[in-house]
Amino acid sequence: MSLTAVEVKKIAHLARLAINEADTPKYVSELSTILDFVAQMDKVDTGSILPMAHPLDVTQRLRADEVTEPNQRELFQSIAPSVESGLYLVPQVIE
Amino acid sequence: MHNHTIAELAAGLKAKKFSSKEITEAFLKRIKELDNKLNSFITVCEEQAHKDAQIADAMLAKGNAKPLTGIPIAQKDIFCTQGIKTTCGSKILDNFIAPYDATTITHYKQAGAVLLGKTNMDEFAMGSSNENSFYGPVKNPWDLNRVPGGSSGGSAAAVAARLAPGATGTDTGGSIRQPAALCNLTGLKPTYGRVSRYGMIAFASSLDQGGPMARTAEDVAMMLGVMAGFDTKDSTSVDKPVPDYTATLNDSLAGIKIGLPKEFFNAGLDANIAKVIEAAIKEYEKLGATIHSISLPNCELSVPAYYVVAPAECSSNLARFDGVRYGFRCANPKDLEDLYKRSRGEGFGAEVKRRIMIGTYALSAGYYDAYYLKAQKIRRLISDDFRQAFSQVDFILGPTSPSTAFKIGEKSNDPIKMYLSDIYTIAANLAGLPGMSIPAGFVDGLPVGMQLLGNYFTEARLLNVAHGYQQVTDWHKKTPENF
């Protein structure tokens, strides 16, 4: 499985990762090698096998619909990169 | 003081031979003097440690001490500690002061343990050598040119050098067991769901499990008793009572059935390591165990399946690091997309980026069935192999790692070579089974670990099997010369 530079750039975009143009060939080769490696899975016919999403076959536990968390906005925003009037600041999105 | 095990320190505290203050100061002093050689701590919590020791000494004086009261413990820097920097070994969390405690940290606090510091690790627990840390590699105290293993490499090096009597680790594909093996420690990865994952920064949620690392099975049993338990804050936590893991340590091993998977003793295993493991098997025979040959035919696919499942889950878990709510933000973002992309691109290291991209690809439209679904089906086959094996034997024994500690830089440019360091440990994570690594001997002066795997929730019996071996061998008592 060989990826192209275009595919690697698309994956990086989907993952919202900036990668340097100069590093692209390295990612192309490393990611292709890893995909080749995992392709060993194709040796086994898994047609009728049920996929296993979770090690213990349990159903998701639900809790009572009650408020359990206090409002800690100030504490949480004290570690944010940029905050004003209780809001997280990001570059302008809407013109 | 630093040569005592946790059990010995606890007995000394109870007998008032020394105080928690004295123990804590002794370990803080060793960290100050020796950690510049190892780089095993990211943050040393001197102030907090003194406070905790004071509280512990008061508990001891009042007579309401618990087994770990007053014992200094190093915490892997993946566990959130309220008011204390929690980095997960990453630049993206270099400025992150956790606003709450992980459940594991809460449990240690309630037990009266002392928080000694936060240990170095591979970034987001992704690695087998501790070379992927933003804070630099950790050195193995047995040979400073070699890696301590990873991802819990800081915890392993700190305990092996006796800068801490015990430390926590997390194990997604071997990250407790492999560094324990490479540093001559006893480490346990519990059954998935046994230890709460709340506040333990997520890498691959269906595989991650926290656990203890110390010098003896007895110490590990004491620590697991504190860490294990049901937690409503972790939706995959299992509601099962926690036994007293120390109560059954001395049970007889007569008649236990130990299985040796032929796939763990094939050509990929170093011949000298095989000899060490064979000697350990003989010890178990002397203790009354019967040895059986078994097969785990699909286990050779555990590393390929893991490198789909773990990256897929990590690409989703690590989406939360966006430069908006906490952590690193790039300078002068020109728009929101630039902010996301550069904060993540500059904040994450190379291995983390590789895994996020592999996971993103495996989950992307058109590739999901070929990669993620396929890997989940292989996961079922591996789990079925174990089910079959545990219908024949009580425990599975083999090497923890295919080699002893390798040189720093030896595998860092070859991801696949690095991934194969975990060839014997990953299957247990995919199946969710408990596993241990215990010291079994040396090759050329470097420690060799033996791995024991048990059926679901057999931690007490696993510890019993490890402890039995440690009563007739002294490998776990060996310590590195210069520490």
> Would you please indicate which residues of B are annotated as catalytic (active-site) residues?
76, 151, 175
The helix (H) or strand (E) run that includes residue B299 is none
Is residue B460 assigned to a domain? no
Is residue A60 assigned to a domain? no
What percent of chain B lies above the pLDDT cut of 70? 100
Residue pLDDT, tens place only, B241-291: 999 999 999 999 999 999 999 999 987 899 999 999 999 999 999 999 999
C-beta atoms of B324 and A88 within 8 A: yes
Is residue A38 assigned to a domain? yes
Is residue B475 assigned to a domain? no
Residues of B in contact with A14 (CB under 8 A): 360, 364
What percent of chain A lies above the pLDDT cut of 70? 98
Q: Is B280 on the interface with A (CB under 8 A)?
A: no
Look at residue B176 in the predicted model and tell me its pLDDT. 98
Is residue A49 assigned to a domain? no
Same domain, B251 and B308: no
d(CA B458, CA B365): 40
Mean per-residue pLDDT of chain B: 97
Residues 6+ apart with CB under 8 A from A45: none
Is residue A21 assigned to a domain? yes
Residue pLDDT, tens place only, B316-373: 999 999 999 999 999 999 999 999 999 999 999 999 999 999 999 999 999 999 999 9
Look at residue B218 in the predicted model and tell me its pLDDT. 98
Say if residues B205 and B250 touch (Cβ distance below 8 Å).
no
Is residue A94 assigned to a domain? no
C-beta atoms of B379 and A52 within 8 A: yes
- 3 state SS of B97: strand
Mutate to test the interface with B, among A10, A13, A16 (most CBs of B within 10 A): A16
Q: How confident is the model at residue A1 (pLDDT cuts 50, 70, 90)?
A: low
- 3 state SS of B227: helix
Is residue B268 assigned to a domain? no
Question: Would you say residue B222 has pLDDT above 90?
Answer: yes
Look at residue B286 in the predicted model and tell me its pLDDT. 98
Boundaries of domain holding A28 = 5-42
- 3 state SS of B261: strand
Residue ranges of B 80-99 with Cβ closer than 8 A to chain A: 95-97, 99
Residue pLDDT, tens place only, A13-46: 999 999 999 999 999 999 999 999 999 999 999 9
Same domain, B64 and B199: yes
Q: How confident is the model at residue A69 (pLDDT cuts 50, 70, 90)?
A: confident
Give how many domains chain B has, as a whole number. 2
Nearest CA distance, A40 vs chain B (angstrom): 7
Instruction: Select from B165, B171, B289, B163 the least CA-distant residue to B219.
Output: B165
Identify which of A40, A50, A72 has the shortest CB distance to residue B304. A40
Residues of A in contact with B235 (CB under 8 A): 60-61
- Region of A42 please: left (phi>0), alpha (psi -120 to 50) or beta: alpha
Q: Is A50 on the interface with B (CB under 8 A)?
A: yes
Residue pLDDT, tens place only, B116-158: 999 999 999 999 999 999 999 999 999 999 999 999 999 999 9
Give how many domains chain A has, as a whole number. 1
Look at residue A62 in the predicted model and tell me its pLDDT. 84
Among B325, B351, B376, where does a domain finish? B376
Mutate to test the interface with A, among B171, B361, B413, B453 (most CBs of A within 10 A): B361
Among B376, B401, B416, where does a domain finish? B376
C-beta atoms of A15 and B357 within 8 A: yes
C-beta atoms of A58 and B376 within 8 A: no
Same domain, B243 and B351: no
Is residue B47 assigned to a domain? yes
Same domain, B33 and B182: yes
d(CA B354, CA A34): 9
C-beta atoms of A51 and B339 within 8 A: no
Among B255, B279, B313, where does a domain finish? B255
Look at residue B169 in the predicted model and tell me its pLDDT. 98
Is residue A24 assigned to a domain? yes
Q: Is B193 on the interface with A (CB under 8 A)?
A: yes
Q: Is B357 on the interface with A (CB under 8 A)?
A: yes
Residue pLDDT, tens place only, B152-207: 999 999 999 999 999 999 999 999 999 999 999 999 999 999 999 999 999 999 99
| Both tokens assigned to B262 | 């032929």
- Cβ atoms < 10 Å from Cβ of B391: 8
Mutate to test the interface with B, among A8, A29, A34 (most CBs of B within 10 A): A34
Boundaries of domain holding B330 = 303-376
Is residue A18 assigned to a domain? yes
Look at residue B31 in the predicted model and tell me its pLDDT. 98
Q: Is B417 on the interface with A (CB under 8 A)?
A: no
Residue ranges of A 53-72 with Cβ closer than 8 A to chain B: 53-56, 58, 60-61, 63, 72
Cis peptide upstream of residue B412 (ω within 30 degrees of 0) = no
Identify which of A38, A46, A82 has the shortest CB distance to residue B377. A46
Nearest CA distance, A54 vs chain B (angstrom): 6
Q: Which residues of B81-106 are buried (b: 16+ CB within 10 A; e: fewer)?
A: bbebbbbbbbbbbbebbbbbbbbbbb
Which amino acid, one-letter code, is at B287?
Answer: L
Same domain, B80 and B194: yes
Nearest CA distance, B81 vs chain A (angstrom): 14
| Both tokens assigned to A81 | 């990169």
Strands B186-189 and B166-170: unpaired
For residue A9, the domain's CATH number is 1.10.20
Nearest CA distance, A95 vs chain B (angstrom): 12
Cis peptide upstream of residue B151 (ω within 30 degrees of 0) = yes
Identify which of A40, A61, A79 has the shortest CB distance to residue B301. A40
Is residue A84 assigned to a domain? no
